[in-house]
Structure 1
Amino acid sequence: VDEEVGLVGASGIEPGLLQGKTLINLDSEDDHWVCIGCAGGINTLAQFAYETMETPTGMYYFKVGITGLKGGHSGTDINAGRGNANQLLVRFLYEEAQQNELYISSFQGGNLSNAIPREAACIAAVPFASKEQLRVRLNLFEAALQAEFGKNEPDLKLTLDSIDAPATMLKPEYATRFLQSMYACPNGVIRMNKDMPEQVDTSTNLASVKPTAGKENEWTIVTSQRSSIESSKIDVVNRIRAIFELAGMTTTHTEGYPGWAPNTESPLLKVMVDVHKEMYGEAPVVYAIHAGLECGLFLQKYPDWDMVSIGPTMRGVHSPDECLYVPSVESVWNYLLAILERL
């Protein structure tokens, strides 16, 4: 079914092929847990084409970076209170530009669209007379971030290194557009679920900034939006699109995949809870996941389906360390048989 590639098999299911109205998905990863929702996702890309100028003389040329962040999955870890390297480095540069004549030569941060960026770096310049004040402000900024994030980011570190003068810098108006749009771009949790207050409903991740492959004087900014509600996902997509287009950038979107909004009143869920109580003496953990599942794609083709997702306990899924807790297979199998008898 090409799950690793992108739920290709689930995407290919035909409307009308299946006649039932109830689906028990067996793709979840924790015994005694019942999943009732997942997030849909889409990436929004901005192409930042800029003009350059010769690097001015009499400047202090430096590379500033942020390292040591935890990063993590842009869905399941988005509410963990972790720093986004792109966002934080832009924040420092924006504040510096308010107090100083700041030139930017390059900026790069993050890697994968589904990962919270851990590192970012920028090559820039300020008047040589401002060299020491720059370092002081960087140290103060680092201390401020350490106070803000505390134990969530214990290894957060800002670095500043002197370098030789780069050949070119962005013209000031382009550097301003870049910093303003990046700083204004939303990042993190946008909204929590109204029925499950501990569950993230909608989020966005400022994932990466890289040179555009095959093009000079252009960077590609990648952001990733997730939501279990399609209208909320599109709202965030449009907000981000508006911000970058205001800065003169061109935006595009990936095809995306739909979400599965939790239904706490689901008749199937009631059966799942009742049977679990009878078998194990307590209710299962009912939750939604802020990442993609096949159920979102199924719901797009079969909007009347009543669905849940369960599965045996697995760890390290989609990695070389993937493993299964074998006793949980029997537990889930017996649970499934009891549910089928009740339906």
Structure 2
Amino acid sequence: MSSLSQLQPPVLWQWFEQICAIPHPSKHEQALSQHIQTWAKDKNLSIIEDAVGNLIIRKPATSGMENRKTVVLQAHLDMVPQKNADKEHDFENDPIDAYIDGDWVKARGTTLGADNGIGMSSALAVLGSDDIVHGPLEVLLTIDEEAGMTGAFGLEAGMLAADILINTDSEQEGEIYMGCAGGVDGELSLPMQWQAPNEQVHAFRLALSGLKGGHSGVNIHLGRGNANKLLARFLFDHAHTLSIQLAKFEGGSLRNAIPREAEIEFSLPADKLSQLQNDIADYQALLRQELAIIEPDVEFTLTEIVIPSTVMANHSQTGLVNLIHACPNGVIRMSDEIEGVTETSLNLGVIKTSKDSVTLLCLIRSLMDSGRDNVEGMLSALGQLAGANVEFSGAYPGWKPDNSSPVMASVRDTYEDIYQKAPTIMVIHAGLECGLFKKPYPDMDMVSIGPTIRYPHSPDEKVNITTVGQYWTLLLAILERIPVKGE
């Protein structure tokens, strides 16, 4: 990974190399936070850790820029912890194994953390540099963005003095974001009753793998397979004829990542084994035909296991399979106002089996509160039909676009001057923290930019090296052009 620090611009990549070396999955950012605090104090920078754990670092303006508006560069400290099933990796203790592959930086078998590690690196690089022109500067690094936006929810009014916020969490060079979707977590908990398995049975684990997964917002419109849904479809079609008795259904690991893998454990009569193998082979062939372009590597693996002591009662199993199979998933509606942008979606991200229940964790996203409310209603109605308990939590607002935003216009004009082409002004179907910042800072002007990051929230995540340089060039030019106070 030492070669990362040789990339351009070195001051940014050196920071990203340090960030990769310090474990920082969501809810476990303490080590990285302490590293940054120690560094800031050594640089004689003002640093505050607020009540929830956000970091606010201040740096005075460079000579001649004292009369400019104050800018806050914003990123989040945490990363999504996702890995391939065959990868041994402890996200709380092991560093990210990043490497260069052509014009991309990737990680071996895990998420890379370019989301939002590159943005964080750029902010820290500006703080640490002596030759970058800027006005009064603040850097806000929030905690737990990926698992609940705890830091953004907890940011209090009066902590920031800035007039302008530049969010660094976007993932496409050449696009300027001026709005984002809001969201809410949905949890459906279906009570389970158990019984002893039938006699003269065998038991198996059926695992589905090989899917691409990805970010449940920016990738949701691509039609990628959802492992939870695909495995439930198999059960809906074959559980009865095979006399399957489920003991466990587990799938996905994060409500904001499209699930790449899922597995079930079950028993079935010994004389059904041949039919089971044929049905699995036929279903795998069917999916490889249906999803030939988007999911060519879908695969099922059948392994014999010890017969479980209990299995789901027939009515519990039927209710569970019906609930998962009927649960809405993917794009609910595309935007009428912004071509190619998803308006409302739902991701059935996680399924967990416990002693008393099976729980489904979903994330609803929408550019419109009414769209979010509509999908909440769908899940509530489905829960009532299935006899499941339904709860919603962690609702966060979208960031409403402001076409008259001065900072958006400035960033757009700066981009055109540098690259001699117009950027695309966008609204993203993902949860940027800007919407939450608007509550304590309603008058703050905001914009979001970033380099090109592909497949965030999955082990295929990668960041394009050339676009990191372009993003850096744009960021420095924006800082140099910040208007004077009062304009």
- The one-character-per-residue Cα deviations of 1:200-228 (angstroms, maximum 9, x if unpaired) are 2211111111134xxx2322221111122
What is the match of residue 57 of structure 1?
199
Distance (Å, rounded) in 1 between the aligned partners of 2:471 and 2:257: 30
Distance (Å, rounded) in 1 between the aligned partners of 2:298 and 2:349: 18
- The one-character-per-residue Cα deviations of 1:157-191 (angstroms, maximum 9, x if unpaired) are 01223334221111100001100011000111111
Distance (Å, rounded) in 1 between the aligned partners of 2:247 and 2:155: 48
Distance (Å, rounded) in 2 between the aligned partners of 1:120 and 1:227: 26
What is the match of residue 44 of structure 1?
186
Rate the CA distance shift 1:110–1:18 in 2: closer, same or farther, 3 A.
closer
Matched letter for residue 325 of structure 2: Y
Match of 2:302 among 145, 160, 176: 160
Match of 1:103 among 241, 245, 252: 245
What is the match of residue 281 of structure 1?
420
Give the C-alpha shift of residue 113 in structure 1.
1.6
Aligned partner of residue 286 in structure 2, secondary structure: helix
What is the match of residue 223 of structure 1?
362
- The one-character-per-residue Cα deviations of 1:120-152 (angstroms, maximum 9, x if unpaired) are 111223343332222211111111100111132
Match of 2:290 among 148, 159, 180: 148
Rate the CA distance shift 1:231–1:133 in 2: closer, same or farther, 3 A.
same
What is the match of residue 137 of structure 1?
279
Match runs of 1:70-149 below 5 Å:
70-149=212-291
Match runs of 1:286-297 below 5 Å:
286-297=425-436
What is the match of residue 25 of structure 1?
166
Rate the CA distance shift 1:98–1:57 in 2: closer, same or farther, 3 A.
closer
Distance (Å, rounded) in 1 between the aligned partners of 2:301 and 2:471: 47
What is the match of residue 390 of structure 2?
251
What is the match of residue 4 of structure 2?
none
Give the C-alpha shift of residue 116 in structure 1.
1.4
Distance (Å, rounded) in 2 between the aligned partners of 1:168 and 1:56: 10
Are 2:474 and 1:331 aligned?
yes
- The one-character-per-residue Cα deviations of 1:1-32 (angstroms, maximum 9, x if unpaired) are 35232344543456799999x85534244554
What is the match of residue 377 of structure 2?
238
Relative to the length of structure 2, the TM-score reads 0.61
Among the aligned pairs, what percent are the same residue?
A: 34
Give the C-alpha shift of residue 245 in structure 1.
2.9
8 A contact 1:226–1:290 mirrored in 2: yes
Aligned partner of residue 340 in structure 1, secondary structure: coil
Rate the CA distance shift 1:282–1:135 in 2: closer, same or farther, 3 A.
same
Rate the CA distance shift 1:103–1:339 in 2: closer, same or farther, 3 A.
same
Are 2:329 and 1:187 aligned?
yes
8 A contact 1:44–1:241 mirrored in 2: no
Rate the CA distance shift 1:306–1:327 in 2: closer, same or farther, 3 A.
closer
Q: Which has the higher contact order (CA 8 A, sep 6+)?
A: 1
8 A contact 1:25–1:295 mirrored in 2: no
Are 2:447 and 1:340 aligned?
no
Give the C-alpha shift of residue 315 in structure 1.
5.8
Larger mean CA deviation between 2-11 and 149-158 belongs to 2-11
Give the C-alpha shift of residue 339 in structure 1.
6.4
Distance (Å, rounded) in 2 between the aligned partners of 1:281 and 1:152: 34
Distance (Å, rounded) in 2 between the aligned partners of 1:327 and 1:94: 49
Rate the CA distance shift 1:26–1:106 in 2: closer, same or farther, 3 A.
closer
Give the C-alpha shift of residue 300 in structure 1.
4.3
Aligned partner of residue 89 in structure 1, secondary structure: helix
Aligned residues: 337
Structure 2: runs of 5 or more not aligned: 1-53, 55-140
Distance (Å, rounded) in 2 between the aligned partners of 1:182 and 1:147: 23
Matched letter for residue 96 of structure 1: H
Relative to the length of structure 1, the TM-score reads 0.84
Distance (Å, rounded) in 1 between the aligned partners of 2:173 and 2:206: 46
Matched letter for residue 295 of structure 1: C
Give the C-alpha shift of residue 293 in structure 1.
1.5
